[in-house]
Amino acid sequence: MLRFVPHQQPTVGASASFWLTSGPQKILPLKPKLACLYILSFIELSLVKQLIVWSVMRKSVPTILETKQLPDFNYLGLDKIIVPVTAGEFAATVSHIESVKLVGFDTESRPTFEKGQVSDGPHVVQFASESQAYIFQLCNPESHNPLLFLLAAEDIKKIGFDLGSDRKLLLKKFGMLPRGLVDLRPVFKRQGYRNTVGIRAAIAIVFNQQFHKSKHVTMSNWGSPTLTSNQLLYAANDAYAALRVYLQLLNNPDEKI
C-alpha cells in the first residue's frame, strides 16, 4: 500500500518534504506540491474504481419482451373477487380486512384525454388479501365511509407500487392522507435496479413469471357503474400481485421493508 510520510521535520521558513513509501520501503522523495498531486491522483483513481464497481453491480429491469417468455403469474380468478354493494357487504369486507391486517392496495381512475383536463379520480379502490380481492366502486356512496375507515387505519398495512399518485388523488378527493401505505418501489431501488420497478417487473424478478397488464383495460372507463370482467380481474390482481411480492420479500432476512 502506497503512503506519504514526512521526510524531515520542517523548521520555520523551510518547506517540508515527503517520502512516497510502500510498506517499510521508501520509493521516492517528494516536495509538498507534488505530494498533493499524487494524493489527488490516488483519490481520483479510487473514486473511479468505486464508480465502475457500482455500475457493474447495478441490475437491469426485465423488459416486456423478456417477461413475455416467462410462465404466467397465478392470478386471482373472478370467483375470488368481491364487489360490495350494500352496507352489510361493506361491513363484512371491512371485518375481513381488519382481521388480516395486511392487504395489497391500488386505485384506478378514469383516464383523461383532453389537454389540461384534471382527473377527478380515483374511481375504484381495490384491496386484496391472500385469498380474495375487494373492489370499491366510489360511484356507490355506500363505499365512502368503509373506505375512509380502512384508509385511516394505520395498523392495516396496504402494499403497493408507486403509491405517491394514489395518495395525492385520495387526499384531493376525500381531504385525508391514507395511513399504513407500504410502497415497494424503493425496496427494489435499494437492491440496485437501474430503472423504476413496477408490478410487471417485480413479478418477473421475484417469481420469474409474467404479469400481463392490458393497456386497453388500463385506459378503460373506471367510473362506469358496471365494471367488465376484464376490469375486475385487472384491478384485483394489481393489488393481489403487490401483496404476493411483499410476502415473498419478507422471506429474505436481509431485506428491510
Do 28 and 130 have their domain in common?
Answer: no
- Of 27, 57, 87, which residue is a domain's last? 57
Do 96 and 214 have their domain in common?
Answer: yes
The range of the structural domain enclosing residue 236 comes to 64-250
In a domain, 240, yes or no: yes
- How many other C-beta atoms can be found within 10 angstroms of the C-beta atom of residue 20? 17
Q: Which of 166, 169, 191, 156 is nearest to 119 (CA)?
A: 169
In a domain, 219, yes or no: yes
Do 147 and 29 have their domain in common?
Answer: no
- CATH number at 118 reads 3.30.420.10
Do 226 and 129 have their domain in common?
Answer: yes
In a domain, 142, yes or no: yes
Do 72 and 92 have their domain in common?
Answer: yes
38, three cell numbers: 499524487
In a domain, 255, yes or no: no
- State how many domains the chain has: 2
Taking the whole predicted model, whether its pTM rises above 0.85 is answered as no
In a domain, 257, yes or no: no
Do 30 and 107 have their domain in common?
Answer: no
Do 20 and 147 have their domain in common?
Answer: no
pLDDT in tens, 62-83: 898 999 999 999 999 999 999 9
Strands (E), the chain: 2-6, 18-22, 25-30, 81-82, 102-108, 124-128, 133-137, 157-160, 181-183
Question: pLDDT 10s digit of each residue in the chain, 257 long?
Answer: 555 555 555 545 455 555 555 555 555 555 565 555 555 455 554 544 443 333 435 688 889 899 999 999 999 999 999 999 999 999 999 999 999 999 999 999 998 877 777 788 999 999 999 999 999 999 999 999 999 999 999 999 999 999 999 999 999 999 999 999 999 999 999 889 888 899 999 999 999 999 999 999 999 999 999 999 999 999 999 999 999 999 999 987 666 66
Do 43 and 78 have their domain in common?
Answer: no
CA 26 from centroid of its chain's CA atoms: 53
